[in-house]
Amino acid sequence: MNFDFSDDQKSLKDQARKFLSEKAGAKVTRGVLDNAAVSFDETLWRSVAEMGWLGAAIPEEHGGLGLGRLELCVLAEELGRAAAPIPFSSTVYLFAEALMLAGSDAQKAAHLPKVAAGDTIGCFATSEGPGLATPSSIETTFSGGVLNGVKIPVTDGDCAHYAVVTAKEGAGVSLVLVDLTQAGVTRTTLKTLDPTRGHAKLEFKNAKAERLGAAGQGWELAEAVLDRAAVLIAFEQVGGSQACMEMALDYAKSRYAFSRPIGSFQAIKHKLADMYVAIEVARSNAYYGAWALSTEAAELPFAAAASRVAASDAYYLCSKENIQTHGGMGFTWEVDCHLFFRRAKLLAVQAGAPAVWKEKLVKRLEQKNAA
Amino acid sequence: MDFNDTPEEAKFRAEARAFLEANCKPKQAENDRMSRSLKPEEYMKAAKVYQKKKAEAGFAGITWAKEQGGRGLPPIYSVIFNQEEAKFDAPSGVFSIGLGMCVPTVIAFASDEIKNRYVAKSLQGEEIWCQLFSEPGAGSDVAASKTKAVRDGDDWIVNGQKVWTTGAHFSDFGIVLARTNPDVEKHKGLTMFIVDMKAPGVEVRPIHQMSGGRDFNEVYFTDVRIKDSHRLGETGMGWNVALVTLMNERLAVGGSYGPDYKEIFEFARGINSPTSDGPLIKNEAFRQKLADWIVRAEGYKLTKFRTMTALSKGQMPGPENAIGKVINANQMMDIGNTAIEAQDHYGIINDPELAALEGAFHQSYMFAPGLRIAGGTDEILKNIIAERVLGLPQDQRADKGIAFKDLPTGR
Ligand SMILES: Cc1cc2nc3c(=O)[nH]c(=O)nc-3n(C[C@H](O)[C@H](O)[C@H](O)COP(=O)(O)OP(=O)(O)OC[C@H]3O[C@@H](n4cnc5c(N)ncnc54)[C@H](O)[C@@H]3O)c2cc1C
């Protein structure tokens, strides 16, 4: 047993951190936050594409680097740490994973190389309104090669070229691939809690679309895509949590009150210790998820749910207590705490809210015990 | 990253499994514990017999050096053995303070002669140890110990009182922290000794715990003689010796002692929800809590695997291990509390014949408060994480530069 990343993977992580500390970070994230007209940072997106990150886990035959999911996990943690304002998670963890999981050879050949090159931005559209989506609550329909319905909100839906969508097909649900640049698609940009990532409402009126995978298999496939994305997003969340803790630590050491660094007060120390504990719990669960993802282990559904629950909780705790540690400064627009507080919530709900994953986790425990 | 056994690990696992099958009964239920069916003396006897077999088969001191009778294997092999042992109803716990904390300290600080005298016997379960650190006025602040040791020729003469000493009533030896110089700062005037618990002048008085048990004791020392050869480390360096023990303590303790999420999950499948129709397991609020427990229990287990991986690569166990206790003691309380409340009024009954899991949820509810205190309180462990892992400034100290004898004391 070896429960750690390899030296090569660690050095990839170091390179990623170095690169992102120069080319990304709060200034770049704020650039997107402060400019309502842009939904992501193009320069950063291009550089990330040039380094091959978008295709890290895409096989070489489809233009990727053919590294593994573990490498992608390492990159995800660093992107999360930087709160990078690019449609990486939608394109790589959701769209590309959906294609790799369910796409035909022709679909893979058509789309994966463009994803790897940074020319196609993808998104994954499931939500149609508040509350839990279920197979029976889906109103979007796919029949005769055309798609009709509304998806809202869709993360990165305002900039994506393609979407993978859950839709009713006859009595079942199918996964459907749709070109968003065609006339049958209307996009409306949405205001959201985290404006450092673009969001849209997508309306399909007889939009041309094609199925991804078998008819009626869409719900199971979507769940499988979400399990994969859950692990990868958990790494982003761990990275973000870690960034919050480090910000809080720095501040706690340098800010003085009552002639002492505030970090010498136990109320602050214990806050930071709680953050540390939450991060370690999340990190360990995420590592297990990473292993399950990279080996396609039967434990993946359970490990993915555990990763997601732990990471969502850790990020919420760390991002809110980072603000509290910063006092009044923490509540200002100028200090970066809120970038993480926003991102924490987006990541917590983007691929299913924590409560949904808690329910999945228990269901999966029941299944394990029934078997 | 790989969760599967290497060929050597698989071989070791099979060996362990064969040993366990030959010497223990497999657990029928997650909560099987022979400690509940046996009287304490019988349990102790069974534990000693089992420990001896374990030592003879090479499954005691798996990570200890060969010179110490161990097997010199990386820590991951202990994990493998523990994983397998957990599937059996083996008598455990009796030796954990000795083998987890005291004897490693002896190995680190004693002469060869002393090591030869004590280590092998302990490993074989013939001799049991206790840790005599805490005093009525010195628990969290253990460096404030007052128990006095005065040099007399080749001996030291010890006087004073220790308290909350787990297992002192059945221990053969202990490691005791004593004040040898009250005229210097408190951390500088301490010395550590091995003490014979059966020596004249050692008196052990059991303490009745709030949980009903009698696991710990007061220990009084009246003119107890200890040979200078039984000193651990230099005179005045007892604090450094204690730190080694405490570091090992955090590796040794921290596991879950009572029903975990698996037991409450089983329980919830068989009992009506107090607030809605159908079994508790269908109750949404319960399911959400259960998920939290799963994630923390698994997270802690996996964090330990990460620690083991780091140790296998030659890194030292750090204060990071403090997180185990912070997670588990509180979780144990929470699970016990939920199981009791879920039964509505009936939950109050803790007669093993009538109560869920033979009263195990009550036991853990009543023992969890002690677990939040023993081996360092939650507050102290959070201080350790904040200061030693995260590098925050040390607490402001009122005792800097003041001789021990001049320090202010309260109750
Ligand atoms: C079940 C059990 C078994 C034990 N077994 C042993 C044993 O085998 N050998 C042994 O030597 N001891 C043993 N102990 C003693 C144990 O180590 C002490 O009880 C513990 O360290 C706390 O010390 P105290 O009881 O003096 O509490 P105190 O130190 O008086 O603490 C009281 C409260 O004040 C808080 N507090 C104290 N200092 C600080 C601080 N700096 N910052 C914030 N809060 C603080 C504590 O967290 C606690 O909440 C055992 C205790 C228990 C409950």
SS (H, E, C) chain B: CECCCCHHHHHHHHHHHHHHHHHCCECCCCCCCHHHHCCHHHHHHHHHHHHHHHHHCCCCCCCCCHHHCCCCCCCHHHHHHHHHHCCECCCCCCCHHHHHHHHHHHHHHCCHHHHHHHHHHHHCCCCCEEEECCECCECCCHHHCCCEEEEECCEEEEEEEEEEEECHHHCCEEEEEEECCCCCEHHHCEEEEEEECCCCCEEEEECCCCCCCCCEEEEEEEEEEEEHHHEECCCCEHHHHHHHHHHHHHHHCCCCCCCCHHHHHHHHHCCECCCCCCEHHHCHHHHHHHHHHHHHHHHHHHHHHHHHHHHHCCCCCCHHHHHHHHHHHHHHHHHHHHHHHHCHHHHHCCCCCCCHHHHHHHHHHHHHHHHCCCCCCHHHHHHHHHHHHCCCCCCCCCCCCCEHHHCCCCC
Helix, strand, or coil (residue A82): coil
Q: Which two tokens stand for residue B244?
A: 């080694």
| Residue ID of nearest Cα to ligand 1 atom 26 | B139
Q: For position B255, what pLDDT does the model report?
A: 57
pTM above 0.90, yes or no: yes
Q: Do A266 and B389 touch (CB under 8 A)?
A: no
Report how far ligand 1's centroid is from the alpha carbon of B145 (Å): 13
Q: Do A269 and B383 touch (CB under 8 A)?
A: yes
Q: For position A253, what pLDDT does the model report?
A: 97
Q: Is the pLDDT of residue B254 over 70?
A: no
Q: For position B278, what pLDDT does the model report?
A: 93
* pLDDT (tens digit per residue) in A221-240: 999 999 999 999 999 999 99
DSSP bridge pairs for A117: none
Q: For position B31, what pLDDT does the model report?
A: 66
d(CA A367, CA B8): 32
Report how far ligand 1's centroid is from the alpha carbon of B191 (Å): 20
DSSP state of A299: T
Q: What type of residue is A20?
A: L
Higher pLDDT, B29 or A350: A350
Q: Is the pLDDT of residue B190 over 80?
A: yes
Among residues B85, B127, B135, B249, which one is catalytic? Answer: B249
* pLDDT (tens digit per residue) in B45-80: 999 999 999 999 999 999 899 999 999 998 889 889
Q: For position B43, what pLDDT does the model report?
A: 92
Which of B337, B111, B392, B134 lies closest to B234, judged by CA?
B111
Residue to substitute in A264, A265, A266, A268 for testing ligand 1 pocket (most ligand atoms within 8 angstroms of CB): A266
Alpha-carbon torsion B8, B10, B16, B22, what sign?
Answer: negative
Query: Can you tell me the mean pLDDT for A349-371?
Result: 94
Which of B210, B98, B219 lies closest to B163, judged by CA?
B219
Task: Select the residue from A74, A259, A266, A284 to test the B interface by mutation, using most B Cβ atoms within 10 A.
Answer: A284
Chain B contact for A162 (CB, 8 A cutoff): no
Query: Can you tell me the mean pLDDT for B338-352?
Result: 93
Whether B203 sits among the annotated catalytic residues: the reply is: no
Q: Is the pLDDT of residue A7 over 80?
A: yes
Q: Do A1 and B298 touch (CB under 8 A)?
A: no
Query: Can you tell me the mean pLDDT for A308-332?
Result: 97
Query: Can you tell me the mean pLDDT for A59-68?
Result: 96
A252 to chain B: closest CA residue: B392
Q: Which of B2, B4, B392 sits opposite A269 (nearest CB)?
A: B392
B301 to chain A: closest CA residue: A284
d(CA A81, CA B341): 41
A274 to chain B: closest CA residue: B382
Higher pLDDT, B194 or B93: B194
A chain contacts of residue B290, beta-carbon cutoff 8 Å: 362, 365
Q: For position B85, what pLDDT does the model report?
A: 92
Q: A28 Cβ partners below 8 Å, 6+ apart? A: A41, A44, A84, A85
**B325 pLDDT tier (thresholds 50, 70, 90):** confident
Which of B133, B153, B136, B47 lies closest to B93, judged by CA?
B47
- Cα dihedral B303, A245, A306, A232 in deg (nearest 10): -110
Q: Do A291 and B389 touch (CB under 8 A)?
A: no
Which of B102, B357, B316 lies closest to B230, judged by CA?
B102
Q: A345 Cβ partners below 8 Å, 6+ apart? A: A193, A194, A316
Q: Do B295 and A281 touch (CB under 8 A)?
A: yes
Q: Is the pLDDT of residue B28 over 90?
A: no
Query: Can you tell me the mean pLDDT for B391-398?
Result: 90
d(CA B212, CA B120): 34
Q: Does the complex come out with an ipTM higher than 0.90?
A: yes
Q: For position A334, what pLDDT does the model report?
A: 95
Chain B contact for A46 (CB, 8 A cutoff): no
Q: In this complex, how many residue pairs, one in chain A and one in chain B, have their CB atoms less than 8 Å apart?
A: 160
d(CA A277, CA A349): 22
d(CA B307, CA B252): 13
CB atoms within 10 A of CB B94: 20
**B29 pLDDT tier (thresholds 50, 70, 90):** confident
Chain A contact for B386 (CB, 8 A cutoff): yes
CB atoms within 10 A of CB B45: 13
B chain contacts of residue A245, beta-carbon cutoff 8 Å: 390
Lowest mean pLDDT across A217-226, A339-348, B207-216: B207-216
Chain B contact for A365 (CB, 8 A cutoff): yes
Q: Do B383 and A5 touch (CB under 8 A)?
A: no
Q: Which two tokens stand for residue A355?
A: 């409560």
Q: Is the pLDDT of residue B256 over 80?
A: no
Which of B87, B375, B387 lies closest to B254, judged by CA?
B375
